[in-house]
Amino acid sequence: MNSDMTSFRYETTKYGVTIEGLLRNDWQAGKKTVHQMRMDKAVTDSAGVPLDWRTPLAEGTELLFHFKDAQSSYKPDENKSVTILFEDEHLIAAKKPAGMATHPDENDKGHTFINAVMAHVVNNGGAYAEHVHRLDKGTEGIILVAKHPIAKALFDRMIEERSITRIYHAEVDGRLKRIRGTLQYPIGRDRHHPTRRRVTPGGQDAVTRFKIIERFDDSTLVEASLETGRTHQIRVHFSHIGHPVKGDILYGGSETEDGTYRLTAKKVQFIHPFTLKQTNIEIH
């Protein structure tokens, strides 16, 4: 893969699949993407020879998919505090440290998580990196990054359909009484604060499931999984029941010595849409 071309290799997993079927049915690539790839003769065999899109292929056939104009605009910015946990042709899973933004805003053109991942991609000859989801600046943990446009579309859809399990560890103030439970409270914007969210009847549905891992003298370590992905969801839900995340001053949490709050995106689990294998990525 050269610096102006995004591409990936794929080995067919069943007999009789066609390129047309892969793109339209298996991966549900958009019509515009499929049309452009057909016009560009963007699918070849391992020797670079364009293939007929309707010819059934043998299991194990190696295909090369090329995206002529697929480049990300993020400026590469190396940062050793961002750790790569998993990588293949389609996806990177990396750990974001607490205190780092997921992506730049209008005032910050670099020094974010995705800039660091972009540096890794560019250093390995690539040109495309787009985050599939995000974490709050103060939350550390795993973020998934797509390495080509079809992966981005597929993983976006998996997030929307809730087929990616995201598991967090949170240390919350006080001693939770329930061993496990479900927090189901709608979340909306707080009219009195520019960034804060709150539980409100007119908000979006939000569901957090949790179980206790360990109780301490004045706090509780919980494992929480999201059925929905609302902004600040775990932070808002636990604050609402009187057990804010430790260190999360915005939502009433007690102060910590280092000024960070105790919330980590610990694990992601999903069926990989290209390999069809159960994939578990975890911070140990």
| Predicted local distance difference test score (pLDDT) of residue 105 | 84
Cβ atoms 165, 225 nearer than 8 A: yes
For residue 150, pLDDT beyond 70: yes
Predicted pLDDT at 1: 38
pLDDT at 108 over 80: no
- E strands, 147-206, in order: 165-173, 180-184, 187-189, 197-199
CA distance 86 to 58: 29
Q: Tell me whether residue 105 is one of the annotated catalytic residues.
A: no
Q: pTM of the entire structure? A: 0.91
In this prediction, residues 224-244 reach a mean pLDDT of 95
For the chain, what is the total number of helices (H) and then of strands (E)? 5, 15
Residues of the chain with pLDDT > 70, as a percent, come to 97
Question: Which one of the listed residues 136, 173, 248, 258 is annotated catalytic?
Answer: 136
Number of CB atoms found within 10 A of residue 233's CB: 23
pLDDT at 106 over 80: no
Residue 5 has pLDDT above 90, yes or no: no
For residue 2, the model assigns a pLDDT of: 41
Residue 199's H or E segment, with its range, is strand 197-199
Q: What is the mean pLDDT of residues 69-77?
A: 92
- Ramachandran region, residue 162 (left: φ > 0; alpha: ψ -120 to 50; beta: rest): left
Position with higher pLDDT, 271 vs 107: 271
Mean pLDDT of 25-37: 89
pLDDT at 13 over 90: no
Distance between CA atoms of residues 45 and 10, nearest Å: 10
Q: What digits encode the pLDDT tens for the residues 161-170?
A: 999 999 999 9
Q: What whole-number percentage of the chain has pLDDT above 90?
A: 88
What average pLDDT is seen over the chain? 94
Cβ atoms of residues 84 and 129 within 8 Å: no
Q: Cβ(246)–Cβ(259) under 8 Å?
A: no
Q: Which domains does the chain have, with CATH numbers?
A: 6-67 (3.10.290), 83-161 (3.30.2350.10), 166-264 (3.30.2350.10)
pLDDT at 186: 98
